[in-house]
């Protein structure tokens, strides 16, 4: 009952536009502001009928909680996200949320390093925009396969973000993975107060390792197949270290953001 | 919570405001959805399957979507009956509706032990014996298919637990009505059906089953016709009340089960899609009663003509 | 029809161009879809269930849609084996692919008699024994659930029919693998699974079951996970080939069954929605082979890791 | 193999507009003309995914087979037709057909009486337009509950049709059922050569009875729950009289138009 703002929202889809080949930016008008925190997510209904049955989770990419405008950045990964890509402006979108714990320490003044791998940059963008607005220091690192797999610079300008990019083929920014860029940054720059990361699992494992090795508190946002999203079904369990044993925690409710040191990446 | 008397029901000794029950494993201990709907909206809530010892549950992935349904292989993750009694059951009165504890075990002795510990426990209005969980290796579904084993199991549990006793059946029992009659003979106060049906999804790119447990239990609208048929068969074969479930998402779905003979209905998977389902189903039932000039939903129980 | 050798298979003595079979009851005698696809696109076609005497079938409604599936209660409408032999089987060679005759009966003697009449009949490449039809009162599914009965039935049919013999199983047998082993012992050359699962839909306005037969068999994508699981279990328990079916609509669906252990797959309900399904599935299988550098789909049979 | 024209059509929906409260007129551009005959029908896919699974049958309301334009007149009867009503112009519609036997004797010169009950007028409209174009005589009777439940006169003008209307409440045209109007017409006018009817089952039973009583050959278009639509599944069986016994015929393939005398309306 801690999250009284959780409600169902019948949003109006204001715009759905391709950002890269398979990334789509949805701009929604919610009837009420969700007042979401960066790292929280919503659950989208994909259509009427019962196939697909389950909602799909998407991080909040940005919320203008005064205007009640919401943005989701969606990568087409399968049949469900393909439906989202096909949504058309003017359509009503059935959305629940916000769910989950956001990134912690939102007001911390120490410099935060935000590390996004591919579409994993979606929630970090919200975090970065918030820190920018509040004048809190941060660096935003984003990795992708190639220049074309990441949004153009203009995409970030709306919130005066200037992320450092890394591409595996070196076609834009640093040549290499975003974790290599992170290591490079840690070698060359001052030690940040905290690392926040979101992206594919191997990348998060590496970021958590880097953070641990250097004693930098690191939080990672995990993914899992969700059903209920409220913590009731135990479907989204992910293994964690606890007192030498493995314990399952719920990505939807206990996370999706977790202390990187506790996540059991090995399994 | 203003309850409408047209939906009130006493199920096997449990006084419920309405015939809608939150299905086991789909509603945690009743509190997780509280930001969405007041738990007291429900007639009763069946809490997560509880075992003698704590169970960590299965490694992920535990769920996978299927056409109009989903498979789950949670593996009965639960903190064990002792923790439940110490920490959870004292809070259950706060739900504002009866809480029924779903129990499972690997041996008949374990079932009996769990039931015995729950006997008289505060906050516990009844016990639902899960003899049909498809995701536990020892015991589980094998218990639920043999009428003789079911009779012995239920008799043992009955001996240990004096409150309202529900027995939850699998539709996979070759002879469902015989299993149902065995449970009735052994002293069950009501039967719940159906539990999930065992299924598998293979990831053709990875070339292996999606679920780490290989198989899981199929729930959701996909199984609804099988569940309605099972309720119809069993309601015609026993004289104790039946709780119908399997793919209920709407008042019309719930009415199918009631017309087939269910005294109450439970909602599982649909909560995941629509947390307000309970409220909409209640409103729909009342609308149906009004439209058809009926005074109480009870007039509809088993009323389907053939 | 240019057949691709990467899909050729000999199923229990039936040489097929590809492992795709049109499922019984869903493709008539093979000609009804000819305006859409050449019947020779199929590896084989299983024709409508045939009985000793003509059967008028059940009164309508015979079908009703369900979430991601449908119920049917056709009631084995067919003109009887004599008419079939006189009028239909002589035309089956024109299909351009092997025709397998699905048979059913109310007694073991009837099954034996039908099988005997089909022995050596022109146009008939094999027989599939339906011991699992949910829509016939006498016999039908009851046959399919008891391993001893199955063994006797298959033994009798085997004695009367010398060609390739498939036995079609119901997933509702309490002990599916035992039933499968009984059919194998009795001389089946292959097993087909699954047949439909019994279900019911109630019309809540009319307050009666939609189907005049009350219950019907559930088919379509809804049952796919149950079917994959059944194929997986049975393929691991017998050494004769298995034909997998239940909700196949795409190459990815077909691959699930093949990876689970099916040597061939059948497509039923999906034809109703997409008459070109066979063509798309074949193309999809070939695409998968190419992408994964495989020489023959056979490399995938039962290849799912655990 | 008799119907080589049966193919899958990915049509463009040109327009979807409400005709009455729950009737919608869809205008489709087919890639190839269907060259359908009045009384034939198409099967519409309702959307991606498998729920609803089955296609829905709709009579061809009109085809301009030169332009390849197709019209369907759809009454919202349940979840499936509600989806059709929500289709928007510009959308691609997946349609199979044409299926079934149309109304027989298309070139017969004798006067035909076309009797439509409610949405049952959909295929008769096509038949009437065809007869009008070819200068073949006919009368078109349409029944509905009230004035508002039937299209406005303008609706019929495109093909110079002037149907006689009957409304149960007398708010438009003849007061009474369309079968009462039919009887009235037969009493007052010359005997037609043939009756073609489509509408609810009790109405069709009555029309068949009237036709039989007066020795007028009568054909009725039946409905049934369809699955395959090609005659393969036997799901759409309807009972018929044959040699004193009942025989099932397939609405989809043997019909949907049948000789009214043979239909077993009693069951
Ligand atoms: C908390 C949370 C926040 C998310 N935020 C975003 C976001 O902002 N933008 C975005 O594009 N995506 C996000 N995702 C991922 C997104 O939800 C999935 O891509 C989507 O659910 C896939 O649905 P689908 O039907 O397209 O794919 P499916 O067809 O269901 O699956 C596509 C592929 O992904 C795999 N898969 C599906 N779900 C998962 C999973 N949860 N974990 C691992 N593998 C999986 C499948 O095996 C398959 O290979 C988020 C996920 C979570 C849990
Ligand atoms: C050959 C043929 C031609 C048709 N042409 C047209 C047309 O031109 N315009 C039009 O609007 N409709 C037409 N129909 C009817 C139309 O197909 C149905 O209204 C539609 O399938 C209902 O789908 P639904 O999902 O909306 O309703 P459902 O939710 O499936 O059903 C709505 C209601 O109708 C009943 N029902 C559904 N199907 C049938 C059936 N076949 N017979 C009897 N009762 C049924 C259900 O029990 C329910 O009460 C035609 C049907 C056939 C067989
Ligand atoms: C995630 C999940 C967990 C479940 N856990 C249990 C359980 O612990 N005990 C039990 O008896 N049934 C359990 N079930 C089965 C449900 O209570 C219910 O019988 C089944 O899901 C069918 O109903 P539904 O289609 O409405 O979900 C579980 C179902 C799901 C989906
Ligand atoms: C309309 C219909 C009729 C069927 N008739 C038969 C039959 O005569 N004999 C039989 O063995 N199976 C019959 N079946 C079952 C199918 O062959 C198949 O086993 C089942 O539908 C599952 O496959 P599917 O989901 O691909 O349809 C029938 C199925 C349908 C839908
Ligand atoms: S999705 Fe249900 S507990 Fe997380
Ligand atoms: S719908 Fe299949 S035979 Fe008519």
User: Mind listing the pLDDT tens digit for each residue in D117-175?
Assistant: 999 999 999 999 999 999 999 999 999 999 999 999 999 999 999 999 999 999 999 99
| Strand pairing category for C126-130 and C202-203 | unpaired
Do D124 and D140 contact (CB within 8 A), yes or no? yes
Domains recognised in chain A with CATH numbers: 8-99 (2.40.30.10), 112-221 (3.40.50.80)
pLDDT for position B207: 98
Residue D241, φ and ψ in degrees, nearest 5: -80, 135
Supply the DSSP symbol for A163.
P
Q: Which residues, other chains included, contact B112 with Cβ-Cβ below 8 Å and sequence gap of 6+?
A: B156, B157, B159, B160
Do B63 and A51 contact (CB within 8 A), yes or no? no
Helix (H) or strand (E) holding A207: helix A201-214
∠ CA C72-C74-C78, rounded to 5°: 150
pLDDT for position C133: 57
Do D80 and D160 contact (CB within 8 A), yes or no? no
CA-nearest residue for atom 28, ligand 3, is B25
CA C67 to chain A, closest CA, distance in angstroms equals: 7
pLDDT for position B137: 46
* Contact flag D234-C48 (C-beta cutoff 8 Å): yes
Indicate the angle between helix axes C147-160 and C108-118, nearest 10 degrees.
Answer: 30
Counting one residue from chain B and one from chain D, the pairs whose CB atoms sit within 8 A come to 6
pLDDT for position B31: 96
For a pLDDT cut of 70, what percent of chain A falls above it? 97
Residue D58 in contact with ligand 2 by CB distance below 6 A: yes
CA distance C301 to C241: 10
Pocket of ligand 5 (CB under 6 A): A 226-229, 231-236, 250-253
Largest CA distance in chain A: 54
pLDDT for position C138: 43
Q: How do residues B279-303 score in pLDDT, each as one tens digit?
A: 999 999 999 999 999 999 999 999 9
Structure tokens at B8: 């009130």
Domains recognised in chain C with CATH numbers: 5-59+72-198+218-300 (3.20.20.70)
∠ CA A106-A102-A134, rounded to 5°: 30
C284 touches chain D (CB under 8 A): no
Q: Per mean pLDDT, which range of A1-15, B46-60, C148-162 is the poorest?
A: A1-15
ipTM of this complex prediction, to 2 decimal places = 0.96
CA distance C220 to C71: 9
Set of chain B residues whose Cβ sits within 8 Å of the Cβ of A237:
57, 60, 62, 74, 77
Whether the pTM exceeds 0.90: the reply is yes
Ligand lying closest to the C-alpha of residue C77? 4
Count CB-CB contacts under 10 A for residue B54: 15
Do D96 and D70 contact (CB within 8 A), yes or no? no
Ligand lying closest to the C-alpha of residue D57? 2
* Contact flag B303-C218 (C-beta cutoff 8 Å): no
pLDDT at D7 over 70: no
pLDDT at A116 over 80: yes
Count CB-CB contacts under 10 A for residue A135: 7
Residue C196 alpha carbon to ligand 4 centre in Å: 6
| Strand pairing category for D56-59 and D41-44 | antiparallel
Please report which confidence band the pLDDT of residue B142 belongs to, taking 50, 70 and 90 as the band edges. Answer: low
CA distance D82 to D96: 19
Torsion of CA D1, D4, D10, D16, to 10 degrees: -100
Task: For residue D48, give the nearest of A140, A79, A136 by alpha carbon.
Answer: A79
C133 classed as catalytic: yes
CA distance B225 to C200: 5
Structure tokens at C24: 């019984």
Do B243 and B167 contact (CB within 8 A), yes or no? no
∠ CA D150-D155-D157, rounded to 5°: 135
Set of chain D residues whose Cβ sits within 8 Å of the Cβ of A48:
79, 83
∠ CA D219-D223-D225, rounded to 5°: 155
Q: By three-state DSSP, how is residue D143 classified?
A: strand
Q: By three-state DSSP, how is residue A92 classified?
A: strand
Please tell me which residue of chain D has the smallest CA distance to B68: D51
pLDDT at B136 over 70: no
Residue D172, φ and ψ in degrees, nearest 5: -155, 130
Residue B113 alpha carbon to ligand 1 centre in Å: 42
pLDDT for position C142: 62
* Contact flag C214-B288 (C-beta cutoff 8 Å): no
Which among B25, B74, B266 is the best mutation to test ligand 3's pocket, defined by most ligand atoms within 8 Å of the CB?
Answer: B25
CA distance B102 to C64: 34
Task: For residue A54, give the nearest of B196, B70, B279 by alpha carbon.
Answer: B70
∠ CA D19-D145-D175, rounded to 5°: 120
Residue D130 in contact with ligand 2 by CB distance below 6 A: no
Residue B256 alpha carbon to ligand 3 centre in Å: 19
Please report which confidence band the pLDDT of residue D4 belongs to, taking 50, 70 and 90 as the band edges. Answer: very low
Partners of residue D10 on adjacent β-strands: D94
Task: For residue C18, give the nearest of C243, C184, C191 by alpha carbon.
Answer: C243
First and final C-alpha spacing in chain A: 33
Ligand lying closest to the C-alpha of residue B25? 3
Query: Along the 306 residues of chain C, how does pLDDT read in single tens digits?
Result: 578 999 999 999 999 999 999 999 999 999 999 999 999 999 999 999 999 999 999 999 999 999 999 999 999 999 999 999 999 999 999 999 999 999 999 899 999 999 999 999 999 999 999 997 565 544 445 666 789 999 999 999 999 999 999 999 988 877 899 999 999 999 999 999 999 999 999 999 999 999 999 999 999 999 999 999 999 999 999 999 999 999 999 999 999 999 999 999 999 999 999 999 999 999 999 999 999 999 999 999 999 998
Residue D180, φ and ψ in degrees, nearest 5: -65, -40
Q: Per mean pLDDT, which range of A7-11, B45-49, C152-156 is the poorest?
A: A7-11
Residue D24 alpha carbon to ligand 2 centre in Å: 14
Do B8 and B17 contact (CB within 8 A), yes or no? yes
In order of B10, B144, B176, B181, the CA distances from B189 in angstroms are: 12, 17, 17, 12
Neighbours of chain B (3+ CB pairs under 8 A): A, C, D
Please report which confidence band the pLDDT of residue B171 belongs to, taking 50, 70 and 90 as the band edges. Answer: confident
* Contact flag A54-B273 (C-beta cutoff 8 Å): yes
pLDDT for position D123: 98
Q: Is D229 left (phi over 0), alpha (psi -120 to 50) or beta?
A: left
Residue A226 in contact with ligand 1 by CB distance below 6 A: yes
**Best residue in C64, C65, C67 to probe B by mutation, most B CBs within 10 Å?**
C67
Structure tokens at C148: 């001893």
pLDDT for position C145: 77
Please tell me which residue of chain B has the smallest CA distance to A49: B68
């Amino acid at each position: 009952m801690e999250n009284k703002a959780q409600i169902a929202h019948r949003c109006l889809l204001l715009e759905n536009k391709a950002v890269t080949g398979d990334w789509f930016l949805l701009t929604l008008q919610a009837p009420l502001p969700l007042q979401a925190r960066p790292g929280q997510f919503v659950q989208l209904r994909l259509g009427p009928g019962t196939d697909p049955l389950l909602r799909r989770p998407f991080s909040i990419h940005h919320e203008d909680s005064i205007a009640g405008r919401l943005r989701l950045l969606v990568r087409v990964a399968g049949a469900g996200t393909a439906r989202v890509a096909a949504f058309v402006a003017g359509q009503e979108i059935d959305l629940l949320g916000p769910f989950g714990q956001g990134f912690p320490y939102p007001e911390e003044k120490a410099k935060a390093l935000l590390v996004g791998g591919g579409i994993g940059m979606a929630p970090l963008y919200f975090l970065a925009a918030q820190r920018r607005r509040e004048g809190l220091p941060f660096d935003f690192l984003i990795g992708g396969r190639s220049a074309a797999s990441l949004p153009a610079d203009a995409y970030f300008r709306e919130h005066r973000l200037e992320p450092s990019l890394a591409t595996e083929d070196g076609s834009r920014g640093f040549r290499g993975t975003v974790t290599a860029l992170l290591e490079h940054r840690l070698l060359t720059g001052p030690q940040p107060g905290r690392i926040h990361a979101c992206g594919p699992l191997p990348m998060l494992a590496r970021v958590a390792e880097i953070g641990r090795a250097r004693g930098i508190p690191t939080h990672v946002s995990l993914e899992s197949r969700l059903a209920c999203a409220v913590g009731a079904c135990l479907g989204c369990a992910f293994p964690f270290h606890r007192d030498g044993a493995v314990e399952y925690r719920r990505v939807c409710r206990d996370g999706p953001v977790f202390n990187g040191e506790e996540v059991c990446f090995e399994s | 919570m203003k309850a409408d008397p047209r939906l009130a029901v006493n199920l096997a000794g449990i006084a419920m405001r309405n015939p809608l029950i939150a299905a086991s494993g789909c509603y945690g201990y009743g509190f997780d959805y509280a930001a969405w709907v007041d738990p007291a909206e429900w007639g009763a809530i069946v809490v997560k399957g509880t075992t003698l010892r704590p169970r960590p549950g299965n490694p992920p992935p535990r769920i996978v979507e299927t056409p109009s349904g989903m498979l789950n292989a949670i593996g009965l993750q639960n903190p064990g009956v002792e923790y439940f009694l110490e920490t959870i059951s004292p809070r259950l009165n706060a739900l504002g509706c009866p809480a029924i504890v779903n129990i499972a075990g690997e041996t008949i002795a374990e079932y009996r032990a769990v039931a015995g510990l729950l006997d008289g426990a505060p906050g516990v209005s009844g016990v639902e014996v899960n003899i049909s969980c498809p995701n536990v290796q020892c015991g589980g579904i094998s218990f639920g298919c043999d009428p003789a084993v079911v009779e012995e199991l239920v008799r043992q549990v009955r001996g240990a637990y004096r409150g309202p006793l529900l027995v939850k059946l699998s539709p996979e029992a070759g002879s469902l009505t015989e299993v149902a009659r065995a449970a009735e003979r052994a002293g069950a106060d009501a039967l719940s059906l159906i539990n999930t049906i065992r299924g598998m999804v293979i990831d053709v790119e990875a070339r292996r089953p999606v679920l780490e447990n290989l198989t899981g239990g199929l729930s959701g609208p996909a199984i609804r016709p099988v569940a309605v048929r099972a309720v119809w068969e069993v309601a015609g074969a026993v004289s104790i009340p039946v709780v119908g479930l399997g793919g209920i998402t709407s008042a019309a779905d719930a009415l199918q089960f009631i017309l087939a003979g269910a005294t109450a209905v439970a909602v599982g998977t649909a909560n995941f899609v629509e947390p307000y389902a309970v409220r909409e189903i209640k409103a729909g039932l009342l609308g149906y009663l009004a439209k058809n000039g009926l005074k109480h939903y009870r007039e509809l129980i088993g009323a389907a003509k053939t």
